[in-house]
Amino acid sequence: MQEKIALQSIHKLTTEEMIQIDQWLSVLYKTFEDLEYPPLHRVLQATTYFNDELQMWYETTKHEINNDWSSFCERLKQYAFDRQMNPSTVNHSLSSNNDILSFEYLIDTKFIKYSGVGDAKDWLLQTMNQFRQCGLRRFEQLQAIPFLLVDTAYLWYVENIDLVVSFELFSKLFLQKFTCTPLKSQDIPRGDTDKTLSVVMVPDYFLK
């Protein structure tokens, strides 16, 4: 009961309170120490006090943090510092009632989603151009990926999420998966009479 009360007394980390991140982490650490909270569970418990923005940040960095408390604190403080020095469109775009726009809203209104059908390279170039127009930084672009993909493309992303540690790596894997390389006539065995051959090479006199 004492542990539950102590954990519930910790305030949620809001966007405005990120400027006092050192103080918040200090309170959290002291509480964990007083309760002799298991080290491996501290990071996960800390994320229960995150808002939506910080939850998305954690999802993109948890593999690098790997439940290490020191790494978690350093990365969170760096994120808070970067956010203050270079505010993003996502965090400070305000609606008519002065609410902060979420990633989902930004993606739904400003971006075209990819399902696995269509020109993957063209979609990626359009998306990167839209990132620049919206002022999104690299780590925010990485956070946006799951909201940009639907259907087959989203399922592929989920299956490969452990490999997607940067937007550059995502781009490479994405193009490898969804960019089709046209077949060349020399790639097809001689004597092959299937439909693929008929599509690749059609003599001119058949078209007259």
The residue-averaged pLDDT of 156-163 equals 88
Domain spans of the chain, in order of start? 2-86, 103-178
Cα 48 to Cα 13: distance, rounded to the nearest angstrom: 9
How high is the mean pLDDT of the chain? 76
Q: Is the pLDDT of residue 188 over 90?
A: no
Residue with tokens 């604190």: 73
Does residue 170 or residue 135 have the better pLDDT?
170
Cα 178 to Cα 168: distance, rounded to the nearest angstrom: 15
**Confidence class of residue 153 from pLDDT cuts 50, 70 and 90?**
very high
User: In this structure, how many other beta carbons lie within 10 angstroms of the beta carbon of residue 44?
Assistant: 12
DSSP letter at 113 equals: -
User: Which of 119, 103, 110 has its CA nearest to residue 174?
Assistant: 119
Instruction: Find residue 13's DSSP bridge partners.
Output: 50
DSSP letter at 9 equals: T
> Over the stretch 1-59, which tens digit does the pLDDT of each residue have?
566 676 667 878 877 777 888 888 988 898 888 888 888 888 988 888 888 788 888 88
